[in-house]
Amino acid sequence: MKLTAKTIAASTFITVILTACTSDFGTATKTYTKATAVYVNLEELRSATLVAHARDIVNPGKIFSSEKLLLIGEEGYGIHVIDNSDSQNPRIISFLEIPHNREFYVSDDYIYAESAYDLLKIDVRDPRQPQLVIRLKNAIAEPMMNDKGEAIVGFEYKQVTEKVEINDDSYFEEIVYFDFQNELIPPSAVPASFVGNSAGRIGVANRIVEYKGYVYTISQFKLSVFDDQDQLAFVTSTYEGAGDMETIYPIDDRLYVGASNSVTVFDISTPDVPVYFGSFSHGLSCDPVLPINENTAYVTLRTGDFAECPGNENALLVLDIDESGGMSVVQEFEMNSPFGMTLIGDLLYVGEGESGLMVYDASDRRSLRRLKADDSVEAYDVLPHPTNPNMLLIASPEGLQQYRIDNQMELLLISQIDF
């Protein structure tokens, strides 16, 4: 065979053409948590009867306490109404059907509760006859509808293993991914926590609060304001200042927002126009904020082997807030797994989940001193009883417990509502 230019050209052409051939084979899988959208008919959801028969507490969420009344949220379904006139024998008397509710807040015998896209105001001056005052439709977000006219209200998550096509270029197709929980109010990072009590004490893990006639709500990236001086009405929303927001706390014309990587403060001296005041950045963590006064706040940072706040930083921080909104750490305590906290007198109680309850001397608000670590109780969140200063309410993995505190700071269990 003679070597000719044609031979070389043909051979080269064939080999170059062949180089485009890729036919990898074998198996490839991916295992992940698959989100499947959950749709509901909003009209059916909105037509649910408000007051229903009492039912067992299965998956508790937010807790509100007054002298004679306990409200315990049932995650996704509504609120249990509990007669606590006899604190040694609390009794469930009814259930408020609020579909897709997780967060609520109580102020002056009114409940402000979210129900998927809506914000509800419920009159509970007579706990046996709660009345829906107003349903503000689509107050939280504009509904996303499917072809059947149903609105998405969340996702169901399930771990799946699926086959992956090798070298499939269809994966290049542009996919619009929208995390709907950025708009709606997502689940709390604290399994069971206090809304507050009738004495005006506010919990540290709220996503809805009321302050001076205005209601503030936070979703993951949006702070919304509602005017409730006359009739509840939407005012404004802002995405400024914070991302991945988790908790909100109003005090002294300021709104403290705890996010997974920061604490952000808004000036709400003009309540319907929150103005960014300052922020403090920290590592990724779940972080309820307890502002004490205009220049001091306590922050707990909780991380662990869970999706919301992965990491290994667990601490209690004392923050200094200067006049210009700058924040810095003045004291830090290493902790195991801090959730909620409350200040009772000069004592700061911090729930550490299954690791117990920590007590600090806070007589000097900016120089805490660790007094006691009580691992006999498990505590997600802590709040004082609204009328009895010697009683402590603890939300634990087992249920809601009411304790009496003796002079040695020992806790004496009075009653428990099992979850």
Partner 1 sequence: MIKSFLLLSIAIFLASMGFSQSNIVLDTGKMILKYEDGSIFRGHLFRGDGLNWPMLLSTGDTIRISVFKVEEYLLDDEVYFFRKDKYQLKKGYFANFSWSFGGGYLNITSQVDLTFGWTHSSRLFLGAGFGGGYSDMYLSSQWIDHEYWMPYLYGRYHLNDNRVRFFLEGKAGMAFLTSSSGTYSGGPYLHPAFGISFASNSRFKWHIAGSQFLVNVKGSFEGWDSMGNQNVTYKYNVWYNRTLFQIGLSYIITKSQLRKNFF
Contact of 130 with 97, CB cutoff 8 Å:
no
Q: Is 28 in the site for partner 1 (CB under 8 A)?
A: yes
Part of the chain binding partner 1 (CB under 8 A), chosen from 163-171, 262-270, 334-342, 392-400:
163-171
- To which residue do tokens 């290994």 refer? 312
Single out the residue of 5, 29, 88, 334 in contact with partner 1 (rule: CB under 8 A).
Answer: 29
Part of the chain binding partner 1 (CB under 8 A), chosen from 3-11, 222-230, 357-365, 373-381:
3-11
Contact of 150 with 39, CB cutoff 8 Å:
yes
Q: Is 108 in the site for partner 1 (CB under 8 A)?
A: no
Q: What angle do CA 69, 187, 399 make, to 5 degrees?
A: 40
Of the two residues 30 and 53, which places its CB atom closer to partner 1 in the complex?
Answer: 30
* Cβ within 8 Å of residue 152, ≥6 positions away: 37, 38, 39, 143, 144, 145, 146, 180
CA 307 to each of CA 33, 195, 353: distance values in angstroms, whole numbers, following the listed order: 11, 24, 17
* Cβ within 8 Å of residue 2, ≥6 positions away: none
Single out the residue of 5, 6, 26, 345 in contact with partner 1 (rule: CB under 8 A).
Answer: 26
What are the tokens at 96? 């408020």
Part of the chain binding partner 1 (CB under 8 A), chosen from 29-37, 100-108, 120-128, 326-334:
29-37
Contact of 49 with 61, CB cutoff 8 Å:
no
Single out the residue of 9, 12, 328, 410 in contact with partner 1 (rule: CB under 8 A).
Answer: 12
Q: State the DSSP H helix or E strand holding residue 370, giving kind and residue range, or none if neither.
A: strand 369-374
CA pair distance 24, 141, nearest whole angstrom: 46
Q: Is 307 in the site for partner 1 (CB under 8 A)?
A: yes
Part of the chain binding partner 1 (CB under 8 A), chosen from 14-22, 191-199, 221-229, 235-243:
14-22
Of the two residues 18 and 345, which places its CB atom closer to partner 1 in the complex?
Answer: 18
* Strand partners of residue 91: 83
Part of the chain binding partner 1 (CB under 8 A), chosen from 108-116, 161-169, 330-338, 357-365:
161-169
Q: Is 5 in the site for partner 1 (CB under 8 A)?
A: no
Residue count, binding to partner 1 (CB under 8 A): 40
Residues found near partner 1 in the complex (CB under 8 A): 1-3, 7, 11-12, 14-16, 18-35, 164-169, 171-173, 175, 177, 179, 307
